Amino acid sequence: MSAAGKAVGHDELGRFIREILIKHGASEPDAEIVAQGLVWANLRGSDGHGVSRLPRYVKLLERGEIDAKAQPRLVHDRAATFIIEGGHGFGPVAVMQAAARAVERAKQTGVCFALIRHTTHTGAIGRYAQWIAERGCAAVLMGAGPTLMAYHGARVASMATSPIAIAVPSGNGPIALDMATSTISNGKILQARATGGALPPGTVLTAAGEPTTDARQAEILLPLGGPKGSGLAFMFEMLASVLAAAPIQAPALGPQKRTRHTGNTAMLAIDIETFRPLIDFKTDADALAAVVKALPRQTGFDEILLPGERGNRTETVRRKSGIPIPAKLWNELESVAKETGVKMPAHT
Amino acid sequence: MSAAGKAVGHDELGRFIREILIKHGASEPDAEIVAQGLVWANLRGSDGHGVSRLPRYVKLLERGEIDAKAQPRLVHDRAATFIIEGGHGFGPVAVMQAAARAVERAKQTGVCFALIRHTTHTGAIGRYAQWIAERGCAAVLMGAGPTLMAYHGARVASMATSPIAIAVPSGNGPIALDMATSTISNGKILQARATGGALPPGTVLTAAGEPTTDARQAEILLPLGGPKGSGLAFMFEMLASVLAAAPIQAPALGPQKRTRHTGNTAMLAIDIETFRPLIDFKTDADALAAVVKALPRQTGFDEILLPGERGNRTETVRRKSGIPIPAKLWNELESVAKETGVKMPAHT
């Protein structure tokens, strides 16, 4: 790549992230799971959930907000339900452990509903939904986390951009939807700031709670469809946080103003074979995908895309040509590398 | 009420609907469940799911598209999963039976995931979510149904306006979100047609698949947030229809163009007490509701509303002052009444 940035192979990027995390106290297997998650997001073009998070992870580790030594603990365990206590360890470690257990339970009981609480940043929850769907199950994940989005009508950040991810198997691998309940992502704001572009109206508020289209003034995200997006975020806080006895928003917004970096996830895994043969499900899923792909298009649309299809394509390209790292991020990674003596990733 | 319409007490409206349905072959208990559903929607101000549907129900009954004699059958039954086959009978009869069974199973197993397939119109699925939450469970329902909404980028109707409903218990009764995955409802279009108002841009297409703001030209609904709304509708079709071996959209859009009036529902019930004492859940749910209600407001907002709060208030008012029936609907109900000799509802 040009002077504007580098391209790094995914294996090499994974090696780099792993070594940095180990230097900050992570065990080898934990570092591997976290690195895989960041690289997965980068491969699929979700760069906001990729290696760009590493400098922040390092800060959180240094401050003790991520506890590198914490191991997930099973604190409630029945045939079709469990709770994993993350203990403010690495989010992906707790959620991947939950995904493996949820699949195992769903294969026995037909369905499993799990709560994973007190994690730190889990990365894109679509990763876990896809992982579950690769194992013959349908998955629904709902997340709760830091306060970044206005509740409909509020002039302050008062909800998480709580994501929902849904994935099912198909003949061409999992089909996975992964979306925030905000109108746009924080990543889009950062991009608009960098390029100087304006944001669409109705997407953000200033720090003072006034509408703006200026990315430099944007501080608070607005919910998707007003009461719909904030209604979903509110209910995900109920299902993922309140049900797990780990509320985030009430303590953050109440007089205590408790805002430790934390997150909770609700996870549903459904064994397809409980309801019908997996092969038949895949046949009908493929038929649905095929009719949707073939729909007549609106003016201005070259193609109809399935959930996750753009990410699948980006992954194919980036597995070959590497993951682009913008110059600014490269410099940040160099600082992180220097502190710990880790070798920067080989690049082109 | 004025010459523009009548106001009818909810009991009297229920009596009227019940008698009409019995005249068209429904059993007394089935007619009661369907009538309760329509009246419930009217009480809460969701008039598009209320008695305005009755003339259409009568047509579907006459054509045999609703089978008044069909009884729901349990076709798959395990500890935490079941499928109810609706057999094109009354939707509310099948879904209420499922809700009762799902609560019973959730109390034993912690969680229950059910599919209800081949129903006719179920009414607002928020009703069942709220009913489940009244029994100490959290509920998530996802619906699939007739093809009314464009998939993102398509110029034809290609998805249902697939709703999602989520409800949890609180100290003040259930808090229930019930929302379609379209930007606006069909009801809003009908309203704009009646009043001559314009529709917001980006909400509908003409029959030819071109954007419009003219309600008289509106034929196809657009999905909430583009790929997000249609992604949810697509995944709900996977979870509620494909998983139940009862696909709707692929047969409707494929060469067969099969478009019989039908619907499917996926239902998750989670017993709160499996995870923590219900009283503690309610305390934390109330705390979340309280901080949200007290948030500082954007300019132009008099109040922050919780999911379902407006419906709760309308219900309080309409239980006292009756359900308003516009003149046009009143005339339609008179036709339906005349055909069967049922006495019109008493009104003010």
- The whole-number pLDDT of residue A107 equals 98
Cβ-based neighbour number of residue B188 at 10 Å: 20
- Give the SS3 label for residue B54: helix
Measured between CA atoms, how close is A178 to chain B, in angstroms?
9
Measured between CA atoms, how close is B38 to chain A, in angstroms?
23
For Cα atoms B228, B234, B236, give the angle at the middle one, nearest 5 degrees: 100
- The whole-number pLDDT of residue B186 equals 80
Q: How far apart are CA A22 and CA B189, in angstroms?
A: 58
- The whole-number pLDDT of residue B3 equals 52
CB contact under 8 A, A275 and B81: yes
CB contact under 8 A, A150 and B284: no
Comparing alpha-carbon positions, the chain A residue that sits nearest to B239 is A138
Q: How far apart are CA B86 and CA B115, in angstroms?
A: 10
- CA neighbours closer than 13 Å in the CB half-sphere of residue B86: 35
B306-334 confidence digits (pLDDT tens):
999 999 999 999 999 999 999 999 999 99
Q: Which of B175, B243, B258, B282 to mutate to test the interface with A (most CBs of A within 10 A)?
A: B243
CB-CB contact of B271 with B168 (8 Å): no
A287-323 confidence digits (pLDDT tens):
999 999 999 999 999 999 999 999 999 999 999 999 9
Q: Which of A76, A206, A228 to mutate to test the interface with B (most CBs of B within 10 A)?
A: A228
CB-CB contact of B232 with B164 (8 Å): yes
Q: How far apart are CA A223 and CA A240, in angstroms?
A: 19
- The whole-number pLDDT of residue B4 equals 67
CB contact under 8 A, A109 and B110: no
Q: How far apart are the first and last CA of chain A?
A: 6
CA dihedral (A30, A32, A36, A39) positive or negative: positive
* Residue of B249, B254, B284 lying closest to A242 (CB–CB): B284
* Residue of B80, B244, B284 lying closest to A247 (CB–CB): B284
| Predicted TM-score of the model (pTM) | 0.97
Task: Give me the residue label for tokens 């030819």.
Answer: B208
CB contact under 8 A, B244 and A275: yes
Q: How far apart are CA B324 and CA B291, in angstroms?
A: 34
CB contact under 8 A, A274 and B81: yes
Q: How far apart are CA B156 and CA B149, in angstroms?
A: 8
Element housing B94 (H / E): helix B91-109
Q: Show the low-confidence residues of chain A (pLDDT under 70).
A: 1-4
Measured between CA atoms, how close is B13 to chain A, in angstroms?
30
Measured between CA atoms, how close is A339 to chain B, in angstroms?
41
CB contact under 8 A, A238 and B138: yes
Comparing alpha-carbon positions, the chain A residue that sits nearest to B164 is A232
Which residues are A114's β-sheet partners? A82, A267
Q: How far apart are CA B63 and CA B24, in angstroms?
A: 11
From chain A, the residues in CB contact with B225 under 8 A are 179, 183, 224-225, 229
CB-based contacts of B83, cutoff 8 Å, min separation 6: A275, B74, B75, B76, B77, B114, B115, B116, B117, B244
Q: Which of B83, B235, B310 to mutate to test the interface with A (most CBs of A within 10 A)?
A: B235
Per residue, the 3-state secondary structure of A223-269, as one string, reads ECCCHHHHHHHHHHHHHHHHCCCCCCHHHHHCCCCCCCCCEEEEEEE
Pairing mode of beta strands A157-159, B5-8: unpaired
In this prediction, what percent of chain B has a pLDDT beyond 90? Answer: 92
From chain A, the residues in CB contact with B140 under 8 A are 140, 239
A252-265 confidence digits (pLDDT tens):
998 878 778 899 99
- The whole-number pLDDT of residue B238 equals 98
From chain A, the residues in CB contact with B256 under 8 A are none
CB contact under 8 A, A153 and B297: yes
ipTM score here? 0.97
Q: Radius of gyration over alpha carbons of chain B, in Å?
A: 20
Query: Taking Cα atoms as reference points, which of B229, B230, B231, B258 lies closest to residue B246?
Result: B258
Measured between CA atoms, how close is B118 to chain A, in angstroms?
15
- The whole-number pLDDT of residue B258 equals 77
Q: How far apart are the first and last CA of chain B?
A: 6
Measured in residues, chain B has a length of 348
The stretches of B150-203 forming alpha helices (DSSP H) are 186-195
Interface A-B, measured as beta-carbon pairs within 8 A, has a size of: 266
From chain B, the residues in CB contact with A151 under 8 A are 292, 295, 304
- The whole-number pLDDT of residue A2 equals 46
CB contact under 8 A, A281 and B140: no
From chain A, the residues in CB contact with B151 under 8 A are 292, 295, 304
Q: How far apart are CA B102 and CA B138, in angstroms?
A: 11
- The whole-number pLDDT of residue B324 equals 96
CB contact under 8 A, A295 and B154: yes
CB contact under 8 A, B140 and A239: yes
Measured between CA atoms, how close is B191 to chain A, in angstroms?
20
B86-140 confidence digits (pLDDT tens):
999 999 999 999 999 999 999 999 999 999 999 999 999 999 999 999 999 999 9
CB contact under 8 A, B288 and A81: no
Say which DSSP state A182 is in.
B
CB contact under 8 A, A295 and B225: no
Kindly list the structural domains of chain A, giving each domain's residue range(s) and its CATH number in brackets, ordered by start: 1-74+309-348 (1.10.1530.10), 78-182+223-307 (3.30.1370.60)
CB contact under 8 A, B115 and A275: yes
* Residue of B153, B232, B242 lying closest to A285 (CB–CB): B242
Average pLDDT over residues B7-27: 98
B211-266 confidence digits (pLDDT tens):
999 999 999 999 999 999 999 999 999 999 999 999 999 999 988 787 788 999 99
Cβ-based neighbour number of residue B1 at 10 Å: 15
From chain B, the residues in CB contact with A235 under 8 A are 166, 168, 175, 177, 307
Q: How far apart are CA B330 and CA A263, in angstroms?
A: 52
CB contact under 8 A, B234 and A270: no
CB contact under 8 A, B237 and A179: no
Measured between CA atoms, how close is B215 to chain A, in angstroms?
19
Element housing B81 (H / E): strand B81-85
Measured between CA atoms, how close is B247 to chain A, in angstroms?
7
In this prediction, what percent of chain B has a pLDDT beyond 70? Answer: 99
Measured between CA atoms, how close is B111 to chain A, in angstroms?
7
